[in-house]
Amino acid sequence: MSSKGLLNAYDCKECKGVMVTVDLDDGVTPFQMTCEVTLACKGWMTSRGYVVDPDEVGEPTFEWYKPSPSEVKKSSDGMRDHAAQEGLFFRKRKKRCSSCKADAPLSPFQFGEVDTTRPGFKPGAYIAENKLTVDICDNCLVKAGYPPMHLKKVGRNEPCPCGGGKKYKKCHGVN
């Protein structure tokens, strides 16, 4: 059975923290590992064995991946042995575009009134201070018809490019 793309969670009995992971490649992951939830915790985390409800645990914060030969060469003896037995290495997950899921430079982008029916606009978003905020790459902003702020010079008295209906100076131009 392939584990590629599967979510897993590790629970720490010491700090009660949960770490969510995703497998980017097929391979072996540990059943137990030192806690990575907080720097202060010295406890051990135990795998849930890929029995995870994505709605309960949320997005993965770490990822398992097949290491390059140079990474294996630089690693400890234990990690080299692990890699020799098809073991995956682990790293903090990069933020991904909430629309296309690509690794890309992201802009936290705030919208006033949002037209979620606009073609191409389907972000995973959260609401803060009555504004919809998304982590989205410039390509997806352009495809959805929202010019990225830093690509377009906006005059203070022009309408804000976020589409909120206010002048730029009263919306995203506020210092």
Q: How confident is the model at residue 158 (pLDDT cuts 50, 70, 90)?
A: confident
Please name the helix (run of DSSP H) or strand (run of DSSP E) that holds residue 73, with its range, or none: helix 69-74
Residue 138 has a pLDDT of: 65
* Pairwise CA distance, residues 100 & 96, whole Å: 8
Domain boundary among 62, 92, 122: 92
Q: Which tens digit of pLDDT belongs to each residue from 77-89? A: 989 999 999 999 9
Residue predicted with more confidence, 95 or 107: 95
Domain boundary among 30, 63, 92: 92
Same domain, 72 and 19: yes
Q: 123 is in which domain, residue-wise? A: 106-170
Is 150 within a domain? Answer: yes
Average pLDDT rounded to a whole number, residues 159-172? 73
State the total domains in the chain. Answer: 2
Domain boundary among 58, 92, 126: 92
146 secondary structure, DSSP code: -
pLDDT of residue 118 exceeding 90: no
Give percent above pLDDT 90 in the chain.
27
Q: Which tens digit of pLDDT belongs to each residue from 1-10? A: 678 889 999 9
Secondary structure string (H, E, C) spanning 6-70: CEEEEEECCCCCEEEEEECCCCECCCEEECCCCCCCCCEEEECCCCCCHHHHCCCCEEEECCCHH
Same domain, 88 and 113: no
pLDDT of residue 74 exceeding 80: yes
